[in-house]
Amino acid sequence: MTATHAVPTTRRRRWRAFFADRKGATAVEFALIAPAFIALLVAIIQTFLVFFAQQLLEQVVNQSSRAILTGQAQAQGMTQAQFASAVCSNVVILFDCSGLMIDVQVANSWSSTNTALPSLTYDGNGKVTNVWQFNPGNQGDIVVVRVMYLWPVFLGPLGFTLANQPNSNSRLIMSSTAFMNEAFVNS
C-alpha cells in the first residue's frame, strides 16, 4: 500500500470514530431542544402573569365600584382623584397606581353601555392622552366603571408577544362592570 492510499483510509477511520463516539450526545441533544423549551417556558410565564393581572384587576374593580353602587361615593362628593385613591387602596400587588386609567360613565340604557376596550391616543413621549370621565350618577342610573392598565410585556423567544398596543411593549388590560345604582339617600 502506498502512502497516497493510506491517507483516505485514515480519514475514514477518524470520521467513523467521530460519529461512533457518543460521549457528547446528551449535550448536543439538549442544545437542540433547549431554545424551544426555554421559549415555551417564557411564553407560559408571560401568559400566566397577564391572566393573573387581569383577574386581579377584575377583583379590584368589583370591590371599588361598590362605593358608587351603594351611593357612598355620591354622598361623600367623591372626585375622580378620590375614587382613584379608593381603587388604589384595593390594589395589593402588581400594579403601579399612577398607571391606572379610570373611566366612570352613566348610560341611558343597558344596550347603550360602553364596556369595550377604548382606543388609546399617545403623545410624542408615549404617554396616554385620553381624558377619562367620572360621573357616578344618581340612584337608579346605569353606571359603567372601566379600569384600564398598560401591562408591560416582553418579547419572548421565537417572536412570541402579548403586546396589543401599537409601537410599544405593553398590553392594555381592562376590567369593566355595569350596574344600576341602588336607591340611596343623598345627604
Per-residue confidence (pLDDT) for residue 180, from 0 to 100 = 96
Say what the pTM is: 0.79
C-alpha cell at 128: 396616554
Domain positions in the chain:
3-180
C-alpha cell at 102: 379610570
How far apart are alpha carbons 52 and 57 in whole angstroms? 9
C-alpha cell at 129: 392622552
Q: Residue 109: CB partners within 8 Å, gap ≥ 6? A: 142
Could you read off the pLDDT tens digit of each residue along the chain, which spans 187 residues? 555 555 566 888 877 776 776 777 788 888 899 988 888 888 889 899 999 999 999 999 999 999 999 999 999 999 999 999 999 999 888 899 999 999 999 999 999 998 898 999 999 888 899 999 999 999 999 999 999 999 998 876 566 778 888 877 899 999 999 999 998 876 5
Per-residue confidence (pLDDT) for residue 59, from 0 to 100 = 95
Per-residue confidence (pLDDT) for residue 3, from 0 to 100 = 55
The CB density around residue 49, as the number of other CB atoms within 10 Å, is 15
Going by C-alpha positions, the residue among 88, 182, 89 that lies closest to residue 136 is 182
CA dist 106 to 118, 145, 177, Å?
16, 9, 12
DSSP 78-133: --HHHHHHHHHHH--SS--GGG-EEEEEEESSGGG---SPPPP-B-TTS-B-----
CA angle 49, 52, 55 (to 5 degrees): 150
Question: In whole angstroms, what separates CA 161 from the centre of its chain?
Answer: 11
Going by C-alpha positions, the residue among 115, 106, 68, 61 that lies closest to residue 88 is 61
Per-residue confidence (pLDDT) for residue 160, from 0 to 100 = 72
How far apart are alpha carbons 86 and 99 in whole angstroms? 14
